[in-house]
Structure formats: C-alpha cells, structure tokens
Amino acid sequence: MDSAVGRDRAPLIGRSLRLSAGVWRRLLAAMVTAGVPVVFLTLLVIWPLIAVLVRSMAGVGASDVLEIVGRPSVRSVLAFTVWQATVSALGTLCVGLPIAHVLARYRFWGRDVIRAVVIVPFVLPTVVVAAAFGALFDRFGLELDRSVWAVLAAHIFFNVAVVVRIVGGFWARVDQRPAEVAATLGAGPFHVLRTITVRQLAPVLAGSFLLVFLFSFTSFGVIRVLGGLRRATIETEIYRFAIARQEFEVAAVLAGIQVVVVAVLAVVTARFQRRHADIGNRADRATKVTTMRQRLHLVVVCCLAIAVIGVPMAVLVEQSLTVGTGYGFGNYARLLERSPLLPVSAAQALVTSILFAIVAAAVAAVVGILASIAIERGGPTGRALEAFALLPLGVSAVTLGFGYLVGLTAFDLNRQVWLVPVAHAVIGLPFVLAAMVPALRSIDPRVREAAAVLGASPRAVRMTVDWPLVRRAIATGAGFAAAVSIGEFGATSFLARGAGSFTAPLAVFRLLSNPGQQLRGQALALCVVIGVLVAAMATLIEYRRDDGVSLL
C-alpha cells in the first residue's frame, strides 16, 4: 500500500511542479504578448495624447468644455464627419467587394497585377491625386470639383485597397461548400451572398469597414483640396483651431471628441469582429474562368477596377512624362540629381523611405503578432489593446504631432531618427490586426487540440498549426504597414527632420511648394516611382513560390 501511495505521490508532485513551470511560462508569454504592444502603444500614442490634451487644456474648466461641445457648429461638423466617413466606408465596400470577389474566385492573367496596383493610391499625395482628378473631371466635362461627391470618390479611390486586399485575401480561402450546397438547393446568388458569404466574412468585412471609416474620419487633404473651403470635418477644424487660430483648448476638445468616436466605434464593431470566421484554413480556391458568363463577369469587374484606380493613375503617369511640349523621361532622370531645394536627392529620399518602410513593416508585424495573440486570448487587456490600436488612425495628425512634441521631448526622443519608422509602425499596426486577428480566430480549436493530444507543446502548436495559417494575413498587414510608412506625412513630420529622415513624400511636397516646371515634373515622376515601389513591396512581402520559398 505504502509503495502504491508512494508511486502515486511521486508523479503527483512531479506534475504539480511541471504545471507550475507551465503556469510561469504561460504567464511570461502573456506578459510578453500583451506587454510589448501595451508599452508600444502607451509610449507612442496614449502618453503623447495625454500630454498634448493636458497642456492644451491648462486652465480650462469643465464648463468651458461643455460650452465648446455644445456649440451648434461643433455638432454639425461632427454629424458631417461621421456621415461622410460612413458613406465613404460603405462606398469603398461596394466598389472593393466585387473586385475582391473576382480576385478570390478566378485565376487569370493580371490577377497579381490588380492586387499590386490597387495599393498604389494609398500612398499618393492628395494634392497630386486631386490634380489628376481635376484633369479627369475637366476632360469629361464633369462639375464635380469641390463637392461632397469628389470627397467620396477620392476616399473610395484611396481606400479601395483595404477592402480588396484584406477581404480578398480571405475570400480566396473561404469554405465554398456551404455556398455551393445552397446554390444547388436553389438559392439565388444574392441570397447566398447575404446568408452565407457575408456571415463567413463578417470579421474581415467589419475590420476593413472600420479601417476605411477611420481613414475617412481623419482625412485632411481630401477634404481641404477636394471638398471646398468651408466643408469642415473634425479633423480640418482641429487644424484650423490649432494652426490658424491658436485656440488650442478648442482643438483639444475636438480631439477628445475624436477619441470618444473611436471608442464607440471599437465597441460597436467588436461584436462583428469577435465572430468566429470560417476562413483562413484553406488553400487558394480560385479557378480558371471557363464559362462565357464567368468571362463576362470578370471583364465587367476588371473594367470597374480600371475605371476607379487605373484612369486617375494613367493621368498621373502621362503628366510625369510630359517634358516641355513633348514626352520623355527627363523628369525621371532628374530624380538622381539633387535639387537645391532639397537636403538630399529625390533618389536618396526614396532610399530613406524604403528603409523606413522595411523597419515599419517589421515592427508592425512583430508587435501585431504579439498583440493579436493577446487580443485572441481576450480579457480586458485584449479588448483594450484592440481599441487602443485604432487610436492612431482615429485621432488627428496635428494632435498626435503636437503630442510627440510635448510628450517625447520630455525623454529627448523626438529627434531620434529611428523613432520615425517606429511611429509609422504605430499607424500600420491596425492593418496587421485587421488581417491577423480574424485569421487567428478562424483556426478551428479542434486542430490545436488534436495537435496537443498528439503530444505537441504549446509552442509547437503555434509553429505548426497557427503559423502556416496566419502567415499570409501577417504578410497582407505588413504590406499595408509598409505602404502607410511610405505615404505617412502627418504626425511623424513632427519628429526628427533632417537629411537623414527626409522621405520621398516630403520631397514631393517641398518640390511642389516652389514655382518652376522642373520641380513639378520631378515631383510627379517621384510620385509615380513611389507608387511602383509600394506595389512592388506589397507584392514582395506576400510573395510565395509554390515550393514554399517566401519572405515570411
């Protein structure tokens, strides 16, 4: 008996020891996965925001805040801001989903090209796109300049990539059997779409809606350049009060309203995002086009894509090739020389942009992986992370920029060159999460359990089960982080600015703020190169040969 008890006891003690080691390891893992993103967001978003709001509100009482919030002008601006962001996001879904669908369904020549090119608008400076739009409107005799329609069209143009790439990436892998079964049983295509596909895609649909909404919510250049002068949003009002009028307390109250909207939005969309996604586990299911009907479908949607994205870009390319009265590559050749207006040559600025983009994409991917594991685990930390990660997209660049000025100067961080790409990564993070969290949630827990039962350690489960399934989602998110970095011009322009951190968009703006045809030509050529570069980077990050060779 004794020996039996002894035998029983010994393994028990051993197991409890192993368990506690496991608990420790899990605790450590939880601390890393939640801790790193929390520190990252606190230092680069929350602390600067608190610092700027506190300084702006010095000496301002609660009654003043209520007075500002209660102004009719503030209310109508808020209403318009939310309205245009909602319509822009819905419009982007309407234009993006058919394209995403075609890319998911069919294998055809040009599929990768569309996927690559669609991300280009994302990084183009508004001023340049607005000029291209203006030229287009003129050519077709449309009186759309300076109207709300121009704003909506531009928002769709800039953001369609979010829907096409994030939703499209999942759609190709969605389990099509339920839809096929429903169709066989006589359900019409729209019925199938509504009852099955939309449900399957709900988390990514909600995620990309959220991203486009926030982008439009805080869009600045589009509103100012295309919207007409007195079409104000919260974002343009913050700029007006902080920069033109120096009424910092009003700007701060408006910034507070932005924070509240982001919070409300995070809570409202969380329900959809938390839904289990029935996607991600499968290989690319696209097939070759076979029937006439499919061919027609493909052609129609490709024409839509070309109309929305291709035509304005073609105008830009044409303008960049205009030299004197003819065409040539003179503007491109000149990118190699240093213009006296710039601290470095445009080519050098491009190199800086590429380096920043690589760092930003890597940081966003690493922090994004850790954060999405914490978010998937759930709990208050996960929920808070999910919401706070959205803040950099939802608060104005001026607010965050002044926040960096106040908050980071305290640590003498604001002049560190490396902080620029890291701050870019903060803005890229929501994209990594929007792609990755649904992917993680889509993993059937039974697969993990099966792996664990068969003896795989938690880490082995992560590496063998989770990693292959989310790899592509990370790549999509990292591609966006790179694009965000290359295009970013707002908040981070408050950080280090010198020859070492002079990026390509800065060069475009500098060139375009002086008279001279040479400068304009160079700026347009630089925009085209930036576009090509972004398309190439996003494609490269996602690239995977059939034998499994890839970057990720």
Partner 1 sequence: MQYKKLAFFFGAIVTLGSCSFFGDEAGDTSEIAAPDREAVPAGTTVRLLTHDSFTVSDGLFNTFTNETGIEVEVVQAGDAGELVSRALFNAGEPEADVLFGIDTTFLQRGLDGDIFRPYQSPGLESVPDELELDDQHRVTPIDVGDVCVNYWTDGVATAPTSLDDLTDPAVASSFVTQDPETSSPGFAFLLATIARYGEDGWEDYWQQLADGGVTVTSGWTEAYYGEFQAGGGDKALVTSYAGSPVAEVLFADPPVDTPPTGVLVDSCFRQVEFAGVLAGTEQPDAGALLIDFMLSETFQADIPLNMFVAPANADVPLPDSYAAHAATVEDPLILDPADIEANRSEWTQRWAEIVLR
DSSP-derived 3-state class of residue 282: coil
- Answer yes or no: are the C-beta atoms of 84 and 215 closer than 8 Å: no
Task: Tell me how far the alpha carbon of residue 232 is from its chain's centroid.
Answer: 24
Residues 411-470 contacting partner 1, CB under 8 A? 414
Task: Choose which of 30, 87, 183, 259 interacts with partner 1 (CB under 8 A).
Answer: 259
- Distance, in Å, from the CA atom of 550 to the CA atom of 250, rounded to the nearest integer, reads 50
- Nearer residue to partner 1 within complex by CB, 472 or 520: 520
- Distance, in Å, from the CA atom of 176 to the CA atom of 257, rounded to the nearest integer, reads 42
Tell whether residue 143 is a contact of partner 1 (CB under 8 A): no
Residues 327-366 contacting partner 1, CB under 8 A? 330-331, 339-341
- Nearer residue to partner 1 within complex by CB, 418 or 509: 509
Polymer length of the chain:
552
Tell whether residue 134 is a contact of partner 1 (CB under 8 A): yes
- Distance, in Å, from the CA atom of 252 to the CA atom of 237, rounded to the nearest integer, reads 11
- Nearer residue to partner 1 within complex by CB, 237 or 278: 237
- Distance, in Å, from the CA atom of 287 to the CA atom of 275, rounded to the nearest integer, reads 28
Residue written as token pair 């999405």: 372
Nearest one of 490, 368, 494 to 428, comparing CA atoms: 368
- Distance, in Å, from the CA atom of 473 to the CA atom of 421, rounded to the nearest integer, reads 21
Tell whether residue 517 is a contact of partner 1 (CB under 8 A): yes
- Distance, in Å, from the CA atom of 79 to the CA atom of 73, rounded to the nearest integer, reads 10
Q: How far is the CB of 372 from partner 1 (least distance, A)?
A: 18
Tell whether residue 540 is a contact of partner 1 (CB under 8 A): no
Question: Angle at CA 351, nearest 5°, toward 345 and 355?
Answer: 145
- Nearer residue to partner 1 within complex by CB, 200 or 339: 339
- Distance, in Å, from the CA atom of 273 to the CA atom of 42, rounded to the nearest integer, reads 23
- Residue range at the interface with partner 1 (CB under 8 A); choices 60-68, 201-209, 300-308, 476-484: 60-68
- What is the token pair recorded at 277? 């996604």
Task: Choose which of 38, 43, 49, 469 interacts with partner 1 (CB under 8 A).
Answer: 49
- Nearer residue to partner 1 within complex by CB, 270 or 358: 270
- Per DSSP bridges, beta strands 322-323 and 326-327 are antiparallel
Q: Give the chain's radius of gyration (CA, Å).
A: 25
- Residue range at the interface with partner 1 (CB under 8 A); choices 194-202, 430-438, 471-479, 505-513: 505-513
- Nearer residue to partner 1 within complex by CB, 186 or 515: 515
- What is the token pair recorded at 138? 């003129």
Residues 226-245 contacting partner 1, CB under 8 A? 228-230, 239-240, 242-245
- Nearer residue to partner 1 within complex by CB, 176 or 319: 319
- Residue range at the interface with partner 1 (CB under 8 A); choices 23-31, 253-261, 440-448, 449-457: 253-261
- Residue range at the interface with partner 1 (CB under 8 A); choices 90-98, 254-262, 276-284, 534-542: 254-262
- Nearer residue to partner 1 within complex by CB, 57 or 87: 57
Tell me, by CB under 8 A, how many residues bind partner 1.
74
Tell whether residue 246 is a contact of partner 1 (CB under 8 A): yes
Q: How far is the CB of 473 from partner 1 (least distance, A)?
A: 25
- What is the token pair recorded at 392? 């950099």
- What is the token pair recorded at 147? 């109207």
Residues 285-324 contacting partner 1, CB under 8 A? 319, 323-324
